[in-house]
Amino acid sequence: MANSSAVQLNGIVKRFGGLTAVHRMDLDIEEGSFVTLLGPSGCGKTTTLRMIAGLLEPSEGEIVIKGRSVTHTPIHKRNLGIVFQNYALFPHKTIFDNVAFGLRYRDVPRGEIAGKVARALELVQLPDMGDRFPRQLSGGQQQRIALARAIVIEPDVLLLDEPLSALDANLREDMRVELKRIQVHLGITTIFVTHDQSEALAMSDRIVVMSKGHVEQVGAPEEVYRSPKSAFVARFLGNANLVEGRVGKSSGETVSVAVEGIGELLVPASRSRGIGEGAAASIVVRAEKLFLGAEDDTPHADALSLPGEVTAVDYQGQAARYFVEVAGRTLQALNPIEERPFRRGDRVNAVIRGRDCALVPLEDRP
């Protein structure tokens, strides 16, 4: 295990004066994996990344890269590739010189530089740009060059801080696929920072969900999405309804949870976070798992079917997001559209299946 870990954070803390931006963080990043730090703005993602990079020194704790403690190693001796949000290509150097920059400070024989640069430019699919200056390139192209510059030095770890957020929506999705392709091709350990949950879900092997300087959950995208550890994680990824209930009997496979005005749901025990009988907890019902049907639909055997009324519709083309009033609560439902979307005021049946739900502890109320 220790052998295959590329980056280890051992209890790192970062304080800025009185403010603690990162609280005692432990993390083990496997060699060759794509790990995303995900969280809202200000939760300490950049601070964590900058500590790994060597641009900030942790107030406490230790950082280990490839088995070597680098806590006090200056950035230029860490052999990392960094891609910045605003590319940070050197404006006074050509694309070739930008990409070759890192090679000149390494023991790369002069004759090999051109070949390495050419291969890196090919990898990012901009082979003929060497003579241009950064300002002559579009944003997306600059981002690719920034990536080429970071990977040409064959870094131990690639660090990216919100690299796609400066691009417009279409380009962002293309770059997402592109970036993942290159990462898989090179097998390079990558730490990616974003506040965009769809980026995180699409690209990561593991997601580290952060909130207010704490790690909320670490896991594979599916795991974090399907079995959130906390109300925060449930809310931050996708659209979730959180409904308060009381935990009842456990049958081994499932846990029964009683919800006032709705009834009893059987939530899988594997997603119940071990919350004990008698405790109050929140049930997470994903919007895409709340199925709306016509009022006269036949009830399902393993599901609760509740009468409700559509109060608002957010039409999205292939799907629609509905706000439904059910038993005095407003719930969100994200459903594909069969023939026509429901309209505001329609009476519907909202169907909840216990096996689609997860259980999380109640939120701390401040």
Ligand X SMILES: Nc1ncnc2c1ncn2[C@@H]1O[C@H](COP(=O)(O)OP(=O)(O)O)[C@@H](O)[C@H]1O
**CA 144 to each of CA 33, 49, 158, 172, 285: distance values in angstroms, whole numbers, following the listed order:** 20, 20, 14, 12, 39
Q: Is 48 in the site for Mg ion (CB under 5 A)?
A: no
The interface partner of residue 21, options being ligand X, Mg ion, other proteins, none and the CB cut-off 5 to 8 Å by kind, is: ligand X
Q: Measured from the CB of residue 226, what is the shortest distance to ligand X in angstroms?
A: 24
The Cα–Cα gap between 285 and 243 comes to 8
CB 248 within 8 A of CB 283: no
Identify which of residues 43 and 310 has a Cβ nearer to ligand X in the complex.
43
DSSP 143-193: HHHHHHHHHTT--SEEEEESTTTTS-HHHHHHHHHHHHHHHHHHT-EEEEE
What are all long-range contacts of 53-60, with beta carbons under 8 Å and residues at least 24 apart?
53/78, 53/80, 53/82, 53/159, 54/78, 54/80, 56/14, 58/12, 58/13, 58/14, 58/22, 59/13, 59/14, 59/15, 60/11, 60/12, 60/13, 60/24
Site residues for other proteins, 129-188, by CB under 8 A, read 135, 149-150, 153
Site residues for other proteins, 212-251, by CB under 8 A, read none
Strand order through the sheet with 303-315: 290-294, 347-353, 303-315, 319-326, 329-336
Q: Measured from the CB of residue 129, what is the shortest distance to ligand X in angstroms?
A: 30
Q: Which residue has the tokens 């906390």?
A: 230
The interface partner of residue 86, options being other proteins, ligand X, Mg ion, none and the CB cut-off 5 to 8 Å by kind, is: other proteins
Q: Is 25 in the site for ligand X (CB under 6 A)?
A: no
The interface partner of residue 332, options being other proteins, Mg ion, ligand X, none and the CB cut-off 5 to 8 Å by kind, is: none
Q: Is 139 in the site for ligand X (CB under 6 A)?
A: no
Q: Is 310 in the site for ligand X (CB under 6 A)?
A: no
Burial class (CB in 10 A: 0-12, 13-18, 19+), 67: exposed
- Please report the sign of the dihedral spanned by the C-alpha atoms of residue 309, residue 312, residue 315, residue 318: negative
Q: Among the candidate windows 44-52, 91-99, 290-298, 306-314, which touches ligand X by CB under 6 A?
A: 44-52
Q: Among the candidate windows 22-30, 100-108, 203-211, 289-297, which touches other proteins by CB under 8 A?
A: 100-108
Q: Is 16 in the site for ligand X (CB under 6 A)?
A: yes
Q: Is 46 in the site for Mg ion (CB under 5 A)?
A: yes
CB 263 within 8 A of CB 351: no
The Cα–Cα gap between 257 and 264 comes to 6
Identify which of residues 211 and 335 has a Cβ nearer to Mg ion in the complex.
211
Q: Measured from the CB of residue 325, what is the shortest distance to ligand X in angstroms?
A: 36
Which of 15, 58, 40, 16 lies closest to 27, judged by CA? 58
Q: Is 33 in the site for ligand X (CB under 6 A)?
A: no
Neighbours of 342 (CB within 10 A): 20
Q: Measured from the CB of residue 49, what is the shortest distance to other proteins in angstroms?
A: 11
Which of 277, 271, 286, 301 lies closest to 335, judged by CA? 286
Among 39, 102, 140, 163, binds other proteins (CB under 8 A): 102
Q: Is 201 in the site for other proteins (CB under 8 A)?
A: no
Binding mask 49-88 for other proteins (x = CB under 8 A): ----x-x------------------xxxxxxxxx-x-x-x
Number of residues that bind other proteins (CB under 8 A): 25
Identify which of residues 165 and 250 has a Cβ nearer to Mg ion in the complex.
165
Which of 197, 216, 154 lies closest to 36, judged by CA? 197
Q: Is 305 in the site for other proteins (CB under 8 A)?
A: no
Site residues for ligand X, 193-232, by CB under 6 A, read none
Q: Is 21 in the site for ligand X (CB under 6 A)?
A: yes
Site residues for ligand X, 47-76, by CB under 6 A, read 47
Interface residues toward ligand X, by CB under 6 A:
16, 19, 21, 39, 41-47
Interface residues toward other proteins, by CB under 8 A:
53, 55, 74-82, 84, 86, 88, 90-92, 101-102, 105-106, 135, 149-150, 153
